Amino acid sequence: MSVLRELGESFVSFLRILGDMALFLLRLVMYTPRGLLRFRLVVHQVHNTGALSLVIIMISGLFVGMVLALQGFDLLARFNSEDALGTAAALALIKELGPVVTALLFAGRAGTALASEIGLMKATEQLSAMEMMAVDPMRRVVLPRFLGGVIAMPLLVAIFTAIGIFGAWLVGVVMMGVDAGSFWSQMQANVSGDEIFEGVFKSVVFGIAASLIAVYEGYRAWPTAEGVGRATTRTVVLTAVSVLILDYMITAALL
Amino acid sequence: MQQTRTVELGTGLFVFLGVVALFFLTTQTTGFSGFMGGDAYRVTARFDNIGGLTTRAPVTMAGVTIGRVEAIEFDPERLNARVTMRIDGRYDQIPDDSEASILTAGLLGGQYIGLGAGGSFDNLRDGDEIYLTQSAIVLENLISRFLFQQSQEDQDD
């Protein structure tokens, strides 16, 4: 019986967190129009989450594209269809790897930073101090970070994907000798606007999910050193799992 | 002041790179960007079997893509497939007795519609139908026909 009760309790607490997070998102969305007026704060956060993630995103994108081309070449060469390498690499990057890998990197690089920053502000009672000065920490601290993440994510995905295709070209065309003309023309013949849209749509959804989880975990963290640490860990785990689940759902819906 | 300037510069660089990447993806990796928006006209054709033809498949003439397949539907009365093609308005001098056939691009390639020019002096216009069509070659049918022929030859001997 106690197992059942524990299961029920954890399910109830899961529902509570889910509901709390949904209400949190609703509040953020309601504050968004006025939050965008304080543009400088948002720009600062786009810099923190986006510009500072550039290097890791670009290096990862390059190598993901390169390994994709290497594996793809090996596989396609068995069917004598190396010419399809451009299509295979571009579709995989645009539709799946770009958004998903970027979201996972984003959780590790920017999500943890957001969660621990907000959590530490809470632990050191900076948020309470703001409330005492009649400054709403939701609007002053949480909202700009959330918006910064939401804006940065699609741009990061686009950069990751473009660099990835460059990496695939580097390995496929320059190293393995696939014909450059068919590499690009096959890609252009087979990639349509729908696929680009799928990638951009995914990146927007993942951006909202990853940023929401990060700021939520930070804001709801226990105000202790241990609590902040747990919030950071939970951010990465929750983001990874929810991004992968969302990815499946979006793919199934758009296919 | 110095600090906000580096922040702005970094953010600007980041946003610029992002937009450039998005531009690259939408224009360089996709074919025919912006083509379908202009003036185009629709023609239909009926096929007994469309094989693996899908919407957005290219419609080509002499190997050049001049349009896209817009819709494929099954006609319950005539029991065949009705394919609607959207052809770029620039190519408005296609004879109305042209022939449409479903072809396959390479071994792994997708299927597309190839138009073969006819000899009529009248041109295809919006809403016209192409009467001369050739269905997709279904590999299974081809193989079964080949096997049937083989066994018939064996019997003759």
A130 touching B (Cβ < 8 Å): no
Contacts (Cβ under 8 Å, ≥6 apart) of A202 = A95, A99, A100, A157, A246, A247, A250
pLDDT at B31: 60
Q: Sign of the CA dihedral B33, B34, B37, B39?
A: negative
**A189, closest residue in chain B (CA to CA):** B31
Size of chain A, expressed as the number of residues it contains:
255
Which token pair is A140?
Answer: 């002053």
Confidence at residue B9, expressed as pLDDT on a 0 to 100 scale: 82
Q: Which domain holds residue B13?
A: 1-30
Q: Tell me the DSSP string of A10-75.
A: HHHHHHHHHHHHHHHHHHHHHHHHHHHHSHHHHHHHHHHHTGGGHHHHHHHHHHHHHHHHHHHHHH
Q: Are residues B3 and B48 in the same domain?
A: no
The pairing of strands B58-61 and B111-116 is: parallel
pLDDT in tens, A205-251: 999 999 999 999 999 888 888 999 999 999 999 999 999 999 999 99
Same domain, B12 and B73: no
Interface test with B, best of A49, A78, A106, A159 (most B CBs within 10 A): A159
- Look at B32 and B89; give whichever has higher pLDDT: B89
- What secondary structure does DSSP assign to A214-239, as a single string? HHHHHHTS-SSHHHHHHHHHHHHHHH
CB contact under 8 A, A90 and B29: yes
User: Same domain for B137 and B93?
Assistant: yes
- The C-alpha atoms of residue B66 and residue B39 are separated, in whole angstroms, by 12
Whether B64 and B108 map to the same domain: the answer is yes
Whether the complex's predicted ipTM is more than 0.90 is answered with: no
Give yes or no: residues B104 and B71 share one domain. Answer: yes
Any idea where the domains of chain A sit in the sequence? Answer: 40-254
Q: Which residues in A lie closer than 8 A to residue B29 (C-beta atoms)?
A: 90, 94, 165, 187-188, 191, 196
pLDDT score at B34:
46
Domain shared by B55 and B75, yes or no: yes
What does the pLDDT read at residue A170? 92
The Cα A161–Cα A95 span in angstroms is 9
* Residue among A243, A242, A239 at smallest CA distance from A115: A239
Looking from the CA of A227 toward its CB, the CA atoms found within 13 Å total 16
- What sign has the CA pseudo-torsion B119, B120, B122, B123? negative
Q: Which residue of B has its CA nearest to A76?
A: B108
CA torsion, points B133, B137, B143, B147, in degrees to nearest 10?
A: 10
Question: What is the full per-residue pLDDT of chain A (255 aa) written as tens digits?
Answer: 688 888 888 888 888 888 888 998 998 898 888 878 888 888 888 988 888 889 999 999 999 999 999 999 999 888 877 778 888 999 999 999 999 999 999 999 999 999 999 999 998 989 889 889 988 888 888 999 999 999 999 999 999 999 999 999 999 989 988 877 778 877 887 888 888 999 999 999 999 999 999 999 999 888 888 999 999 999 999 999 999 999 999 999 887
Output the pLDDT for position B5.
77
Q: Which of B30, B35, B86 to mutate to test the interface with A (most CBs of A within 10 A)?
A: B30
pLDDT at B38 over 70: no
Nearest to B14 among A50, A192, A200 (CB): A50
Map tokens 């693996």 to a residue. B52
Residues B63 and B6 in one domain: no
Q: Which of A43, A47, A196 sits opposite B26 (nearest CB)?
A: A196
Q: Closest partner residue to B30 among A163, A188, A200, by Cβ?
A: A188
B106 and B137 within one domain: yes
Q: Which pLDDT does position A119 carry in this prediction?
A: 92
Residues 2-31 of B with CB under 8 A from A: 7-8, 10-11, 13-15, 17-22, 24-26, 28-31
Q: What is the rounded CA–CA span in Å between residue A189 and residue B65? A: 10
Q: Are residues B64 and B31 in contact, defined by beta-carbon separation less than 8 angstroms?
A: no
Q: Are residues B62 and B84 in the same domain?
A: yes
Please tell me whether residues B67 and B101 are part of one structural domain: yes
- CA dist A116 and B119 (Å) reads 74
State the best of B5, B8, B17 to mutate against chain A, taking most chain A CBs within 10 Å.
Answer: B17
Across the interface, whether the CB atoms of B14 and A152 are under 8 A apart is answered yes
The tally of domains found in chain B comes to 2
Question: Which pLDDT value is given to residue B68?
Answer: 84
Report d(CA A170, CA A161) in Å as an integer.
14
B156 within domain boundaries = no
Average pLDDT value for chain B: 82
Specify whether B20 is located in the same domain as B61: no
Is A200 at the interface with chain B, CB within 8 A? Answer: yes
| Residue whose C-alpha is closest to residue B67's, from B33, B40, B47 | B40
B126 and B69 in a common domain: yes
Quick: pLDDT tens for B78-117: 999 999 998 888 888 889 889 999 888 766 666 888 999 8
Partners of residue A81 in chain B, C-beta under 8 Å:
106-108
Number of Cβ within a 10 Å radius of residue A168: 30
Banded pLDDT at B33 (limits 50, 70, 90):
very low
Does A187 contact B at CB distance below 8 Å? yes
